[in-house]
Amino acid sequence: MTGTLVLAGTPIGDLADAPPRLARELAAADIVAAEDTRRLRRLTQALEVQPGGRVVSYFEGNEAARTPELADALAGGARVLLVTDAGMPSVSDPGYRLVAAAVERGIAVTAVPGPSAVLTALALSGLPVDRFCFEGFLPRKAGERLSRLAESAAERRTLVFFEAPHRLAATLSAMAEVFGAERPAAVCRELTKTYEEVRRGPLAELADWASQGVRGEITVVVEGAPEPGPQEWDDAGLARLVATREEAGESRKEAIAAVAKEVRRPKREVFDAVVAVKRDSGRAAPGRAASGPARTGG
């Protein structure tokens, strides 16, 4: 008989939000794998429960090395409970490797549903929630961040991101550049905690607010792109999307192909738009010769 892997959702702020079943699972598990054993201790004290089995750490630094050990324990019949610092394991937290290893071995995987920063932020944002996509954390480097955002420029579903407070202003500025300064968004801070705050407004306005400094756990919700009309993307808009991707390191050919797919326009139209804008730019600057379609940036 093989064991069972249990993924347990934990509170994202208020420990009183812990699901009732969590205490029972903590007491029954043979092994509790915790992202932070100190936070687990605070949680078990709040729930007035003692883990019934062995407690081990399972975090980003040891996830790859510890997964085989836990998978072997599951194969031997152990009930393993996986908890992360907040929310559901595997969602921008450790867990995916262990789930994949368990599935590969035919081991049962179940979950204890719990609080979710993604769903909580969506519900509080005031933005459409009928269709959405979760993007997690954006890359730290500015060029890679712009490239990732450019991939979502034409996404019509509501977008949800996690972000660190010290990078929030830069991220919102990049979003305003790629998505448009007036795109509606919401910054959800310290959800379910004492100083919970939801700030709503256009991306440019939120970026200006964040430049003063923001603390706490951050979830950003951004309204999806409007339904594109036949004339919605003019030459300048298409050229700007291509330029953003080029600045992030893509070749012009790659950028044009990606933008054409995003906005659902033929590649030839996007190429012609880039050429037209470059030609017009050359005319506006008499001292510079207009260049052809070949890429000139780095």
- pLDDT band at 135; cut points 50, 70, 90: very high
Sheet holding 54-57, edge to edge: 54-57, 31-34, 79-83, 4-8, 108-112
- Whole-model pTM: value is 0.76
Q: What is the pLDDT of residue 230?
A: 52
Query: In 3D, which of 153, 154, 151, 160 has the Cα closest to residue 128?
Result: 160
Amino acid at 220: V
Q: Kindly report the number of other CB atoms within 10 A of residue 175's CB atom.
A: 26
Q: What is the pLDDT of residue 223?
A: 98
Q: Residue 41 has which token pair?
A: 């201790």
Q: What is the pLDDT of residue 297?
A: 38
* 202-227 confidence digits (pLDDT tens): 999 999 999 999 999 999 999 999 87
Query: In 3D, which of 74, 68, 54 has the Cα closest to residue 2?
Result: 74
Q: Is the pLDDT score of 285 beyond 80?
A: no
